[in-house]
Amino acid sequence: MVFQLQLSLGVLERPCQSECLTIVAEMLRRYSPIWAGMGALRDITLALYAANQSCKSRGIHCRALLAFLLEVDAGRYLESSARKNVEMEIASYAQVSSFLPRSSEWCSQLVSKALRPSGSETEPCPKKIPEILLLSNNTRPDAAYILANSLWFHYHKSPNWAWSIWDNTFAALRVQVNAEAPCDTRYANFLLHIDQHLPDGLDEHVARWFQETGKVELISIDSVAWTNLTHTLLRLVGLNVLATTTILKGMVYPLWSNALSSGTADCEVYLRAAHDIFARLVLSGEEDWGKDIVELQRVRVRRQDVFCSPHLSLLVGAIPTLVFLEHAPHVPSELRRRAVALRDAVCGSIEFRQGIYRDLNAVRDAFDKSLQYDALDESLVEPLMDALRLILNVTRTGMAAY
């Protein structure tokens, strides 16, 4: 680990492009607890700050580096004036597309003004954007880039333009009739370009869509649409556009709860999709993500967040829901067995066990909420206790249903 730290700090000392800096920042972030134990956070903070100053002098902006810089600093190591400058830079810049020149500080300032223009003129973003639907039939290599820039130019002053872009993209994925077509990759690349136009990225807008209209939309789409959507979401995680925790919190956990409360077998399609997405995001091996080292690194870092506060409590809170799904008669038997397998796998992972022993209160709160005896079927008490024993790695009674 000492060699990895020294190598990473050495890379930060050299002139790098945004993509390289993002990889280094994600690697450092993945092992943050180890660096903290080594007492190296101050050195990392100062190296990140120096790297960012070098980038600014060359007209380069790296959103991932700036975000990690403030995270690792945590108000402890940077001078207050330096920290304020970083915060202002994050608030003022959006990541520059690789198609734009990056040769000077003047270029950075110009891009900043372009991405956050002044003026009162605004063109409202329409509810339906047919150009997004037509993207699936456009075979030009730069079609996604051109469309993203065009939509930004017309609608970027509209307060909900990014939300609307995602909503229209979801609608386009929903109506694609061929799950084998490369439209999911095309739309993922399109959303990557949209993400680069947003100072804070696309993730928060997708999270808001999940909260506002997402569940109603998601429970009504068919299996082909789910295939397209799943491929796109996984690709966006690999591209660092969406966080794993955003998809779990906004989509997977609510779909599990909805399948349980629905009381009908109509939940089969979206419950199967929720199981599949959870398995890919949280449990799958590296071989399931291809050979791109950069994307693998991003997936590892994003997965690590699932087992850390504040997201760990959401995962633990979803485990009783899985237990109830295992014993829900309206759920197809195959999906009940999948729920058992998912729960066993996640509870047996090293990252999960390390996380829960750092925050046993999350376990207590989740099971206290589930064990409301006036509302809980008595036959489910023992399976819940078995689930708790599995989480805490103690002897189980062996009463799992499957």
Give the pLDDT score at 118: 45
User: How far is it between the farthest Cα atoms of the chain?
Assistant: 69
Tokens of 208: 């808001």
Give the pLDDT score at 289: 74
Q: Quickly state the pLDDT bin for 218 (edges 50, 70, 90).
A: very high
Is the pTM higher than 0.75?
A: yes
Of 128, 133, 184, the residue nearest 155 (C-alpha): 128
Q: Mean pLDDT across the stretch 127-133?
A: 93
Residue reference for tokens 């829900």: 328
Q: Which residues have a Cβ under 8 Å from the Cβ of 318 and sit 6 or more positions away?
A: 252, 253, 256
Residue reference for tokens 């109603």: 216
pLDDT digits (tens, 9 = 90+) for 144-165: 999 999 999 899 888 889 999 9
Transcribe 23-83 into DSSP letters: HHHHHHHHTHHHHHHHT-HHHHHHHHHHHHHHHHHTT---HHHHHHHHHHHTTSSS-HHHH
pLDDT digits (tens, 9 = 90+) for 30-77: 788 888 889 999 999 999 999 888 888 887 777 778 888 988 898 999
Tokens of 311: 């997201």
pLDDT exceeds 50 at position 96: no
Separation CA 253–CA 330 (nearest Å): 18
Q: What's the count of helices (H) and strands (E) in the chain, helices before strands?
A: 23, 0
Omega of the bond leading into 117 within 30 degrees of 0 (cis): no
CB 322 within 8 A of CB 339: yes
Give the pLDDT score at 102: 38
Of 217, 174, 172, 177, the residue nearest 190 (C-alpha): 172
Q: Mean pLDDT across the stretch 16-43?
A: 84
Q: From residue 95, how far is each of 64, 99, 115, 160, 318 by CA, in Å? A: 9, 12, 9, 19, 35
Separation CA 233–CA 374 (nearest Å): 39
Of 86, 85, 90, 114, the residue nearest 100 (C-alpha): 114
Residue reference for tokens 């403030």: 70
Phi and psi angles of residue 195, each rounded to the nearest 5 degrees, phi first: -55, -40
Angle between helices 350-358 and 293-306 (to 10 degrees): 40
Of 282, 280, 370, 373, the residue nearest 324 (C-alpha): 370
Separation CA 154–CA 123 (nearest Å): 6
pLDDT digits (tens, 9 = 90+) for 171-195: 999 987 665 545 668 999 999 999 9
Separation CA 182–CA 185 (nearest Å): 6
Q: Mean pLDDT across the stretch 268-284?
A: 95
Half-sphere exposure of 368 (CA within 13 A, CB side): 7
Give the pLDDT score at 130: 94
Separation CA 271–CA 222 (nearest Å): 12
Q: Quickly state the pLDDT bin for 100 (edges 50, 70, 90).
A: very low
Q: Mean pLDDT across the stretch 276-283?
A: 95
Give the pLDDT score at 236: 94
pLDDT digits (tens, 9 = 90+) for 348-399: 999 999 889 888 888 888 888 777 655 667 788 888 888 888 888 765 555 4
pLDDT exceeds 50 at position 115: no
Give the pLDDT score at 20: 80
> Residues 335, 341, 347, CA angle at the centre, nearest 5°?
135
Tokens of 68: 């990690």
Tokens of 390: 């599995």
Of 180, 183, 153, the residue nearest 169 (C-alpha): 183
